Chain A
């Protein structure tokens, strides 16, 4: 059962990659598919000089830890038989990125996709560049380095062919896994050499200087943006062979579960180790010290671990522990009381984060003022795969297997916890059974490493139960967002005031001030793009009483729910069409000037340089108009049905969603159709953009209607999918139509996984209003709405 290790041994074929073979792409299948659907463009042998070169541009990838790497020798290997192996260094949690980035490399180097295999790397940022697979940044930050890898390798292959033929490299052109020889008129001579024949010579050549690279122009792409490319692990997933964190099996491996304090900062006072050890199969009971002191970062919660010969025995042993807890400093956390406190805070002026014009005057002089508070509960990421990790220590070297979104971060945290240099820790990246931000935190990985250390290096798998996962999480924040608009006697919005009150993620990293920080401010708050002359964004104080963490789309969820609900509410108040009113608020086509609009000095633009990705109202309005057209906005619907619209720009992408709601007679909200328009710039795998967007509708429905984490006496009240409900097949958004805007010249790749989610919540709320005249300002709204 050493399947993972066996795969690693196979990978010795390509030692320069030092990686684990994750899979082999299904040779022949894809080539056939692309050909049969007629999506392969005729290969256009344009003279090199006529190519429209990619003009490299800076991204936030340059400021991430360990930046980006674009050395083709790190990412590409070519075997003598012509097999091209492309390393994928990002984590795969379902976005398809471990297929998407290799597609970029393969296209740029003219590889035949059916002869490409993909290898998952280990956690090694100095070698591969940043590996934090969150923040919708994989394609945004790595499309250029991957194009550089591909273009470099293409030129190396052409140079190698030129040497073999004794001709000038300008007469050699890579084409479909071969290099062809051109005559002086740049016509194909019919002579060619395969990539396999050229591999040894090409890989020995120096890597071309970046400024000499010739990139493909978009009309030469054969894989990027062309048709549907199945993910490379599809076959393994459908046959049960795909390897996730809990699927690692090592000789002599032990299984562990941990009783963790139910309240953050709590500690066990009493437990019955002997009773646990009496359970057949239980081998040891180990206490773990929790980390509560600031900055606790992703520190483990501590508790009592039960080690056994099966997960079942470990769980039985844990049940027998009969632990008593001292709840500690957060024992009074109560979600009902906390919501009241936040609501009171939102009614008072807060810390001013953005100020433009004179909002006080605008509100004082307004003919009418709109005010509404929007509430959202904590959420749990609730990936289908509960947290899990495996570790062993052999001769002072710790080897870890984990489904980690931040694999190199986790590796560093393991090294620190074990007091080992990072070189003495290896982290193998398994597939993630979902992540949604939770698996960016390393506590579960460190637990496995510490337990292995306490077991003299024995391999140990730490399995979190579903209840552990739900009750000991890093939760999406809880919030009250107050949105106010000043409206003059002509029905124009002259003032905008938004007060955001929510405990901050920063509380994990530093002493909690109760105020949010620049990253949270940048998510649908201070970058409100409306053409309103007087704007103030204020942040009210809210101290964190549990661990606050990232969840797909992060602060955009409550902010966009609030702001885009408010727009629809005011449109209704003014007797305006919500779509027209939204377009009017956005105003004329322009690129926003953050300085002139009073954005804060530390304005965070998803980590990217603003001038490279300025907020563009023309693109924003375009997605809204296209959505309206695709959804048949304005069409007459039967009673009890309605359309709702919402739009947002985040992670440099522009998204508009129109939800069609049809109410059941018993108050069940049904969604027969969703139309989402996505402008994410240059895109690579349209099918994965569609799948992310379809999934966002499902998750958006969960967040809006069903899912909420609440606390009482400091502890989470929910336990499993019985009381933390998520969207099921019985009521899912039936038909999600995804419309991708074709990239314009020079378009830059931007985010997908997260930006497609935030508009859904408000679009659904607005559709419910259109269908029922009922305005719901709190998420989750509940499984059934009262009859309108």
Chain B
């Protein structure tokens, strides 16, 4: 029996240790803000934090997550007012919105380790997160805007 802590709540797990954390988060823990987009670590829609580091939850197994503290979009801030979330709303980033939880989690992790990223650093950090609606210009602007407030 392994345990994984998601947004401060402990979950026990005795299933397939190779199960991707993403499916546990969505189908077992019932936290649906983390999205399935590709299942192969190519799109970033499932990005979460494990011990503060942005990871693709579709590429993180339950055995890797065991004993770790996982944060999903639902747990990024208690009131939904993390500076990145606020910046996203200020810039009206989303179109369909499906990839945005992953984008926000990626940006939040970037800004937690680098308070003033350069444009090149923003691009390099965010390049793994696809937005098919094409919100990149606003994502870039919102990350810049949030950088002041993290």
Contact = CB atoms under 8 A, between A and B. Distances in A.
B126 A694 contact: no
Interface string A685-697: 0010001101111
A17 B110 CA distance: 44
B130 A240 contact: no
A243 B97 CA distance: 10
Q: Which of B100, B124, B133 has the most CB of A within 10 A?
A: B133
Interface string A237-273: 1111111101101000001000000000000000000
Given A238-B104, A255-B27, A729-B123, A736 B94 contact: no
A281 B15 contact: yes
B38 A729 contact: no
A135 interface: no
A312 B72 CA distance: 19
A720 B19 CA distance: 20
B104 to A, nearest CB: 6
Interface of B: 15-16, 19-20, 23-24, 26-28, 30-40, 42-43, 45, 72-74, 76, 80, 85, 88-89, 92, 94-101, 104, 122-124, 126-140
B139 A729 contact: yes
Given A238-B80, A240-B101, A384-B45, A729 B23 contact: no
Nearest to A697: B134
5 contacts: A246-B26, A309-B27, A431-B98, A691-B135, A695-B133
Nearest to A465: B39
Interface string A378-420: 0000111110000000000000000000000000000000000
Interface of A: 1, 92-96, 228, 230-231, 233-235, 237-244, 246-247, 249, 255, 280-281, 309-313, 316, 382-386, 431-436, 463, 465-466, 687, 691-692, 694-699, 720-722, 726-730, 732-736
Contacts, number: 185
Nearest to A727: B134
A465 B26 CA distance: 15
Nearest to B126: A729
A683 to B, nearest CB: 16
Nearest to B75: A240
Contacts of B28: 310
Max chain B CB contacts within 10 Å: which of A240, A255, A694, A722?
Answer: A240
Contacts of B34: 240
Contacts of B31: 240
A627 B80 CA distance: 40
Given A311-B27, A698-B134, A730-B123, A431 B97 contact: yes
* Contact residues of B: prevailing secondary structure: loop
Interface centre among B28, B92, B127, B140 (most CB of A within 10 A): B92
A312 B16 contact: yes
Nearest to A95: B95
A246 B89 contact: no
A730 B126 CA distance: 8
Given A239-B73, A466-B39, A280 B30 contact: no
A240 B74 contact: yes
A721 B130 contact: yes
Contacts of B33: 239-241
A722 B41 CA distance: 10
Given A699-B134, A730-B127, A466 B40 contact: yes
Contact of B85 (A233, A239, A431): A239
Nearest to A381: B132
A237 B138 contact: no
A695 B95 contact: yes
A238 B40 CA distance: 24
Nearest to A695: B134
B92 A228 contact: yes
